[in-house]
Structures are given as C-alpha cells and as structure tokens.
Structure 1
C-alpha cells in the first residue's frame, strides 16, 4: 500500500466553485482516500507527506479534443511518415501536455491502443489517453487528404493514420466495428467540411443522415460516445438529431443549433485556440498555404458561437485541437474563453463537464474521496483569474496522475 498526504492545501471544490482552506488530502494506491482537515489521522506510518503551503490543490485538467499524433499541421505529409517516428514524437507531445497540467485527453483522430497502453504502463509520460483510432470521413470529406488531381486511395483499417474514408451504411458500420474492436473509447465522425482537408468546403454537410445514424447505433451498442466535427448550424442539427454526443468546433452554429444542443442535452467542444494559432503560425507549422487561408472562414466566428452557447446554457467541454509545434498553446484556451466565460466555468469545462462527456464522472474531475488521484498544485487564484494559466512553467508546481507524481517543482 502506497500513501501520499498533501497538507496545508487550498482545495478547489469545482462543483461548488469555492476554496476549502486548510485541508489535507490523503492519496492511497492511486485514489483519493480522504479530504479533510484531519485526513492525516487516516494515514499509515510510512506515508509520504507533501506540504502544499497554502497553494491551490485541484483536479487535473482534461482536454476534450487533441491530436497527439499530429506532429505536423500537414496531414497529407503525416500520412507518409513512418508510424514508428510518429509514435516517438507523439510521446514528446504527450509529455508536454502533462507539464501543462492535463491528466486526461481525448484524441480526435490518429491515436490508438498502442499509445494508450504505453501510457498506462508508464513507458512514456503523459495524460490518460482516450482514443477513437481513425476519424471517419466520406469520400472527399474532412479526412480525405487527396488533392483534386489524386485518385488512388491507399488505406487499410489495420494501419496507423489520421482518418479512414467510408461510404454508405454498410461501410460505415464496418469501419465503426473495426475501431471498436481495436479498443476505441469513442468514435469520431466528420459531418462537415474543414480547414485541413484539400477538397471540401467549410459549409458543406458530410455523410448522409442514415450513415451518421448507423455510426451512432454501433457506438450505442458498444456503450461509447460519438464526437462529430461540424461547423455550420445545418451540419450540427442533423448530426445531433442522428444521435451524436458532442459537437466539435461549432464556429458557425446558429440559434437552431444552440436550441438543439440544449433540447437534446448534448455537449459543445469549442476549440478557439487552434484558429488563433493557425492564423499566426499555421504555415510555419506545416499547413499548406492554400489550406491555411480557410481558417479565416471560421476564425472570428468562434467567439460569437461561444457567446451564443454560453448565454443559452449549452454544456461545454474544454478542447484545443492544436497541431504539431502549436500544441504549446494548449492553455491559451483559458484566455480566449475568458472573454466570454468566468474562470470557474472554464475550469468546469476542463474537469466535471469533461468527465461527464467521457462517461468518467465517478472517477475524474473532482478532488473527492474515491476518485482517481489526478491532482494539480497551482500557484495563484485560479477560481477568479485565468492569469495563472498564462505561465504554467511557473505556476504549475506539481502534477499527479493516479497517485504517481509526474511533474514536481520545488
């Protein structure tokens, strides 16, 4: 039995939106055993003690939309890169996420059971990884990286890669079942055009409603959720009505889309930081210039969509969607959302709401007895300001995942 006791902690109660000062938190065998001023009384003789010195002790952060294998913003080039090299670079990206305080991330295309297993076994340092395997796309959709002059489509379900093209209900069912067979914790569908794909339009809808329903049926049978890349209100509404659990991005949503999100009690995962990063350094990060121009179709609309969703009370989860070297901006999402949302609501989107979407609400997202010991020690008043997240190398003093210290600073 291993025990760690945090003393003199300012515990952030995410649900109540309040601090609880003078607390001790006992961690035993990877889980939180006690949260109380006298929690030390439950500790054994060999407990390791960490004096938090009045700093904030809070749940580890979740990012609901990452691409851990996107070592470049040029997806076509990525598909020509050796999977072994991609895996090594992915390990570096995952390590960076941990240093920024993320203890659970949900990959939106590219990661697989191998990376998730390596993380579980501690062979690489990084957050807990939820993965969908390949993102699923129609021919000419957001995961079809062929240019207009290319015809051959070299793909197989067993190989590594960002996406898989499938058309028709039967192909959709087969593709979903393959990803589920390989251990997918969720499915990812491309139901509208996107920035990084060469032949589709931002405002297009993709997949028929029957195809989307087929994917949702397969996910329901496997008891896993479905995430859907979508920009416009039209694409969002048809995907929600077909059964998807979360809408990714949603920059061009409208009142009908917002009303549908609320009525069906589904989640929106805005990803404002990727558009900001693409606008400033996308080409330098590898995105072909002709594709990078598409970012301006959705850049300014993201903040407006966030404001509409916030006003209506849409459930939201923290997401970033960053690619390659731009992943260093992962915490910039706090500053961008703070123009519309309160700091505690952004934190909830990265803790309790993320846990709800991931179907892990009884395990992560709170400093609470029985929960996994995913914990951060942070300098600063995170309850009332997003400023501490602008300098994580100074403010994030400790990162723990399942009771194991991943990052520790004096």
Structure 2
C-alpha cells in the first residue's frame, strides 16, 4: 500500500513532548496512524534497532529558484531553465531532511503543483509568489542606470514593484489569486539589493496595512523582510505575522513579538555563507560589502529573542551554490539555544507559523508521515542534524526517499 510503513524498535522523539519514547510507529496512506509498543501490520517493516525517529524538518525561509546570488540576472532566464534549477535545488533540500519548505519569494504554483503531483522529488512547497517591493526597495534589482522594470513572467524573478495603496492591494490580490500561502513584503533595505540602505524603512504604513488587510481577508498572513528595530517594530505594530531576519531588533521588538504572537525567522547561515563565498556565486561586490552590517548582529539578536521567549522558526535564505550549507544553521543556533528549542524551531514552531500545526512537525497520529531516522542524540547534541550523513532514512508521506 502506498505510503504505508512500520518502523519498529525506535526512539520516538516528538518535539511537542520533548523526550524519547521507546516504541514503534505505523504509517498508512501517507499519514501516521499509530505509535506504541509491539505494533503489527501487513506493510513494509523496518527494524530501527534504537535509532531516533523525529518529524521531517521544516525550513521557513528558502528561495528555491535562487540558483545564483546575482538576483538581478534571474528575470532574464528562461522559465524552463529556472524550473529545472528549482527542481534540482528542491531535490537536494529533501536529501538534507527538509520535507517542507516555505519559499520567501520566487517560487510559484507550478513548482508547488509539480512537487505535490510527484513529478519530481522535493519537499512540500509553501510559496508566496513574488515579494512586494516599493520602487528602489529590496525587491527592486535595477541598478541606478536602469529605468525600465521588466516584470518578466519567469518564476525566477523574486520581486514585483508595487507603489501606492491601490497597487499594493492589486499585487497582493494577484499573488493570492495564484494560490499564495502567504504574502511577502520588503519592509526594509537588504544586502542583495543594489540601491537601498540596510537601515532604511520601506513602504508607508498605509501600504503595509493594505497588504495585511488583503492577506487577512483571504485567511493568509504577511511575512516581512526587515532588519532594524525601527522597521521590525513598525511592521509588527501594523499586524505583520512573520519577520524575516530581524538582525537589529531591540527590547521593544521582543515585547511586540510576544504581544502580537508573531514569529521571528532568523537566517544566520546566509550571512556566514555570503561572507565566506558569496562573490564566488554571483553576489555583486557592492552587496558583499553590506554583509558586515548584519553579520555580527544576527547572533546577538537571536540570543535576545530566545531569552525573551519569542517564537523562533528555522530559516536559511541561502542563494546559489550556498544552498548546500542549509543544515549549518543548526550549528549556529546551537551556540545560543538549547537543543530542544532548536529542534522545535525546525518542527513545531515552523508548523505553527505556516498554519499546519498537527499536520507536520509532529509525530502525533493523523499527521503527515514525513519522518527523519537519525543515528545520534539530537537532545544531547542538535548538531547531529547539521550532518545529513547521520540520517539513516528520510521518509516523505510514508515512503522512504533515501
């Protein structure tokens, strides 16, 4: 039977519980149906002999179509070429144990539909389409000498320019029309954009509110790219649910995260990777020089947020050939957070962020049978998850994929 599997003699680690339970786990039709002792079933059976079983990992900030760090070049690519790269990148993500990813701009319904129909191997894809940016904002990749914005239909383009309340409403509605699971807005400057300052704030309060209202009307939410406390706090006050990066937050930010029950998605590994090898993978020199403005502050921000009890989800934001460092984020988080908290960031907390609590990120019966079989003890040393060589099996929908 498709998606049916029995895992016996395992150490079950449900992040919701936070401790090991010896026993078996049975899947049918792609879902977990039972855990306990001495389970039986006329299905494929694997004796794990004490290996750890935990939910498949969730990366809440990826760009699966960003196959180069030169983001300004992407809109000129052929859609078929961009899609081929995206499928390759997603397949490699699945091989690192990530069974669900949330794309933070670039991916579209085509890749999501193709993955769900089994046309290629990759994680479940939650997409936002194009991120909304003001002229000269983080999603505007034109240099100073370029005047025309070519809104190419290719899925590789990460942003779309929308200026003014009416234009923001129309752009948000258009992405929702195409099936977006969330709306992404650029609420501050960034590293990879050529003409803005990292410490700038972007979009007026009225424009951000329009995006929040449109997402809320569709029972969706808004994620915002933002670095500084000024940008983060403003976004949270206006009802944005998810802050991406947040390297320069302050104590007021922490209070607002708690008050609004919002989420922070730090992406520490991308700054580490950009500094180490960003130029090798196409990052322009002007952008590479911006990395230092946020690199050192990211760890301090994570520590401030963790100490304050902020909802922290796992994210990586890697570009081009740097995607291979996706699991290194576990090492960086482990410098600040306890192992269980890091694990929860990539399972239960991320599942809550994307509105799939009980569906993914858990071993409870009824959840999707997306599982990771690990040799090692993540509760003692979560960095075992930083090395896919420790993954004995990666299971998606009850089917072993590696």
Q: CA deviation at 1:156?
A: 5.7
* Cα separation, 1, equivalents of 2:112 and 2:399: 17
Deviations 1:147-177 (A, max 9, x none): 0111111116686521100000100000001
Alignment correspondent of 1:349:
345
User: Secondary structure, in 3 states, of the residue corresponding to 2:226?
Assistant: strand
Q: CA deviation at 1:406?
A: 1.4
| 8 A contact 1:364–1:372 mirrored in 2 | yes
- Give the ranges of 4+ consecutive aligned residues of structure 1 lying more than 2 Å apart after TM superposition: 156-160
Select the residue among 334, 340, 347 that pairs with 1:338.
Answer: 334
Structure 2: runs of 5 or more not aligned: none
Alignment correspondent of 1:61:
57
1:159–1:27 CA distance, 2 compared to 1 (3 A): closer
* Cα separation, 2, equivalents of 1:397 and 1:118: 27
* Cα separation, 2, equivalents of 1:292 and 1:395: 33
Q: CA deviation at 1:347?
A: 0.6
User: Secondary structure, in 3 states, of the residue corresponding to 1:9?
Assistant: strand
Q: CA deviation at 1:52?
A: 1.2
Residue 85 (1) aligns with residue 81 (2): yes
Q: CA deviation at 1:53?
A: 1.5
* Cα separation, 2, equivalents of 1:366 and 1:62: 11
Structure 1: runs of 5 or more not aligned: none
Alignment correspondent of 1:36:
36
Q: Please, what is the CA RMSD of the aligned residues?
A: 1.1
Alignment correspondent of 1:130:
126
* Cα separation, 1, equivalents of 2:401 and 2:218: 32
Alignment correspondent of 1:196:
192
Residue 402 (1) aligns with residue 382 (2): no
| 8 A contact 1:157–1:164 mirrored in 2 | no
* Cα separation, 2, equivalents of 1:99 and 1:136: 31
- Counterparts of 1:357-396 in structure 2, within 5 Å, are 357-392=353-388, 394-396=389-391
Deviations 1:270-325 (A, max 9, x none): 00000000010000011011111101000000000001101110011000000011
Deviations 1:240-282 (A, max 9, x none): 1111111000001111111111111110000000000001000
TM-score normalised according to structure 1 size: 0.96
- Counterparts of 1:228-377 in structure 2, within 5 Å, are 228-377=224-373
Q: CA deviation at 1:62?
A: 0.2
Alignment correspondent of 1:15:
16
* Cα separation, 1, equivalents of 2:31 and 2:385: 26
| 8 A contact 2:53–2:372 mirrored in 1 | yes
Q: CA deviation at 1:51?
A: 1.2
Number of residue pairs matched?
401
Select the residue among 172, 183, 186 that pairs with 1:187.
Answer: 183
Alignment correspondent of 1:165:
161
User: Secondary structure, in 3 states, of the residue corresponding to 1:217?
Assistant: helix
* Cα separation, 2, equivalents of 1:368 and 1:159: 36
Alignment correspondent of 1:25:
25
* Cα separation, 1, equivalents of 2:152 and 2:92: 31
Q: CA deviation at 1:182?
A: 0.4
* Cα separation, 1, equivalents of 2:152 and 2:192: 21
| 8 A contact 1:157–1:175 mirrored in 2 | no
Q: CA deviation at 1:404?
A: 2.1
* Cα separation, 2, equivalents of 1:181 and 1:215: 14
Q: CA deviation at 1:79?
A: 1.8
| 8 A contact 1:10–1:20 mirrored in 2 | yes
User: Secondary structure, in 3 states, of the residue corresponding to 1:340?
Assistant: coil
| 8 A contact 1:110–1:162 mirrored in 2 | yes
TM-score normalised according to structure 2 size: 0.98
